[in-house]
Amino acid sequence: MGEVVEGTRQASDEASLVAWLRAQGLFPISVSKTVGGETASAGEGSLSKTLLAWKSRLELISTVATKDKAIFVRQLATMVGSGMTLSSSLDILKDQTSNRRLAASIGQVKKLLDGGWSLSAAMKTRKEFPPLMVAMVQAGEEGGLLDTTLSRLALFLEKQEALRRKITSAVTYPSVVLFFAVLVLYILVTFIVPKFEAVFYQMGGELPGLTRVVFALSSFMKQRWYVFAGVVFLLFFFLFLLNRFPKTRPYVDRMKLRLPITGDILQKAIMARSMRTLASLVQAGVPILSGLTMTAEVADNTRVASAFLNIREAARKGAPLGETAKKEKIFPLMVAHMITVGEQTGHLEEMLNNIADWFEMELDEKVSKLTSVLEPVLILFVGGIVAIVALSIFLPIIGAIQTML
């Protein structure tokens, strides 16, 4: 029988305290927090405990980013590959994972694993692990290559995170510039222009047409700004609803792919993500029909998802993937040809990875070109707005000076 030891120790969080206890050869039964030591007042302790409780709740309902999942799977693959048991690996990862929601899920998976469940079956009970991850883990378990499959899954998640960062970088710069352009315009129209308006009306005389338009816009924005904000909100809310309803979403998804500039970027991003997903599933040993279904689910576009489901139905009847892909206009002819070559040579997963690499390379070039073109265009746009406002103010001044002369 071991001796029960109680005590207190200062630590940054529970995970670091548990790690220290285990380093001392102790097995923690329970760990609780104390706030401010014995000298803390009851009111301060109660308030701090309440804040900590709310913080813990918010962390538990927060989302689990792809980056966190990739780190977890990569560490798990390393530990399993080094010979550690799954239970021990999950126990360690549960304590050192920074995302509280993911850590709680890992803890639940470990409990089920200790109860005799397989890793894939335990992961299936948690929403934090999507069906794609569960399917790849299950294929690795059935094939006896769990560590290899986990490494492939980690690589897949890392590439998905890299693709997400590329898309984010493509929209961040123009979004920030447009935000500051609108902010500058609002400040000029609502604070600067009204001061000149009062002076010009005291001077008398007829104002130029551009000045009258700017003054009218200034008065509207200052007195009825909520109308403009309401219109913008209703527009975004309407687009949100169209994107949510099953009957209208296909039309919205088609419109997204046909947009002049962003449509091509969106299509390349969807294709890269979809092909990488299908390649990872095939490489892990997931049946092709199940892989096509999961790929359609992660496409996040009904047009592309419909194409993959059509390929699935044709494959179920014995038709080659490449031949069906040629009939789907959403896929470039080169993609269908490479899929056909992959099927004929028995290296489908390699060809799918090559297709994903090609789309990612095209996406990089598209984003680079778009950024280089948008930079001067946005500068001219912001400068044009400021120039119009400045011209509307200087025109009456120039007119008054000419009248005096």
| Angle ∠(199,203,206) on CA atoms, nearest 5 | 105
Domain layout of the chain by residue ranges: 66-141, 160-405
Give the closest residue to 255 by CA, choosing from 241, 268, 266.
Answer: 266
**Does the pLDDT value for residue 306 go beyond 60?**
yes
The model's confidence at residue 391, banded by pLDDT at 50, 70 and 90, is confident
Q: State how far the Cα of 363 lies from the Cα of 353, in Å rounded to an integer.
A: 15
Express as a percent the part of the chain with pLDDT over 70. 83
Q: What is the pLDDT of residue 310?
A: 93
Q: Where are the beta strands (DSSP E) in 166-267?
A: none
**How does pLDDT run across 65-109, given as a tens digit for each residue?**
888 999 999 999 999 888 888 889 998 998 888 888 888 899 999
* Distance (Å) of CA 158 to CA 72, 154, 161, 198: 11, 6, 5, 59
Q: What is the pLDDT of residue 32?
A: 63
Q: What is the pLDDT of residue 397?
A: 79
- DSSP label at residue 106: H
**Letter for the amino acid at 195?**
K
Q: State how far the Cα of 364 lies from the Cα of 231, in Å rounded to an integer.
A: 35
Mean pLDDT for the stretch of residues 356-385: 83
**Does the pLDDT value for residue 392 go beyond 70?**
yes
Give the closest residue to 388 by CA, choosing from 202, 246, 174, 211.
Answer: 211
Q: Which residue has the higher pLDDT, 34 or 254?
A: 254
Q: What is the pLDDT of residue 42?
A: 45
**How does pLDDT run across 262-288, given as a tens digit for each residue?**
888 888 888 998 999 899 888 888 889
The model's confidence at residue 44, banded by pLDDT at 50, 70 and 90, is very low
How much of the chain is in helix, strand and coil states, percent to nearest 5? Answer: 80, 0, 20
- DSSP label at residue 188: I
CATH superfamily of 160-405: Type II secretion system (T2SS), domain F (1.20.81.30)
**Does the pLDDT value for residue 41 go beyond 50?**
no
Give the closest residue to 132 by CA, choosing from 252, 33, 278.
Answer: 278
CB 301 within 8 A of CB 270: yes
Express as a percent the part of the chain with pLDDT over 90. 17
* Distance (Å) of CA 192 to CA 137, 231, 264, 277: 62, 24, 41, 54
Mean pLDDT for the stretch of residues 284-313: 90
**How does pLDDT run across 111-137, given as a tens digit for each residue?**
999 888 999 899 989 888 988 888 888
The model's confidence at residue 312, banded by pLDDT at 50, 70 and 90, is very high
Give the closest residue to 89 by CA, choosing from 73, 112, 69.
Answer: 73
Burial class of residue 258, CB neighbours in 10 A (0-12, 13-18, 19+)? exposed
Q: What is the pLDDT of residue 286?
A: 86
Q: State how far the Cα of 29 lies from the Cα of 108, in Å rounded to an integer.
A: 17
Mean pLDDT for the stretch of residues 41-69: 56
The neighbour count for residue 12, using CB atoms within 10 Å, is 7
CB 385 within 8 A of CB 177: no
Averaged confidence pLDDT in the chain: 81
Task: Look up residue 11 and give its two tokens.
Answer: 């630590």
Q: What is the pLDDT of residue 48?
A: 45
CB 304 within 8 A of CB 274: yes
**How does pLDDT run across 162-186, given as a tens digit for each residue?**
888 877 877 787 788 778 877 877 8
- DSSP label at residue 286: -
- Cβ-proximal residues to 381 (8 Å cutoff; 6+ apart), any chain: 181
The model's confidence at residue 314, banded by pLDDT at 50, 70 and 90, is very high
Give one word for 25, left, alpha or beta, with left for phi > 0 and alpha for psi -120 to 50: left
Cα 153 to chain centroid distance, Å, stands at 18
Q: What is the pLDDT of residue 342?
A: 92
**How does pLDDT run across 1-37, given as a tens digit for each residue?**
445 566 776 665 666 666 666 666 665 656 666 544 4
Mean pLDDT for the stretch of residues 313-318: 92
Q: What is the pLDDT of residue 217?
A: 82
**Does the pLDDT value for residue 59 go beyond 60?**
no
Q: Which residue has the higher pLDDT, 29 or 58?
A: 29
Most confident of 30-34, 42-46, 147-151: 147-151
Q: What is the pLDDT of residue 220?
A: 81
The values of phi and psi at residue 85, to 5°, are -75, 160
